[in-house]
Structure 1
Amino acid sequence: MEQNETELMLKGYGLTTAEFFYHMPDYVHVLNTFIWQEYDLAPDHPKLFKFIEFWQREIEGPLHSVKFTHRKMIAPGEWRNMVGEFRVN
Structure 2
Amino acid sequence: MTEATETELMLKGYGLTTAELFYRMPDYRNVLNSYIWQDYDLAPDHDRLLNFVSFWKREIEGELHSVRFTHRKLIAPGEWRQIAGEFPVH
Q: Tell whether the structures are fold-level matches, with TM greater than 0.5.
A: yes
Determine what percentage of the aligned residue pairs are the same residue: 71
- Structure with the greater alpha carbon radius of gyration: 2
Deviation sequence 1:33-70 (CA, Å, 0-9, x none): 00000000000000000000000000000000000000
CA distance in 2, matches of 1:57, 1:29: 21
Deviation sequence 1:8-53 (CA, Å, 0-9, x none): 0000000000000000010011000000000000000000000000
Query: Runs of 5+ in structure 1 lacking a partner?
Result: 79-89
Structure-1-length-normalised TM-score: 0.84
Q: For this pair of structures, how many residues does the alignment match?
A: 77
Deviation sequence 1:68-87 (CA, Å, 0-9, x none): 00000004x66xxxxxxxxx
- Equivalent position amino acid for 1:39 in 2: Y
Query: Runs of 5+ in structure 2 lacking a partner?
Result: 79-90
1:50 match:
51
Following TM superposition, where does structure 1 have runs of at least 4 consecutive aligned residues deviating by more than 6 angstroms?
Answer: none
- Equivalent position amino acid for 1:5 in 2: E
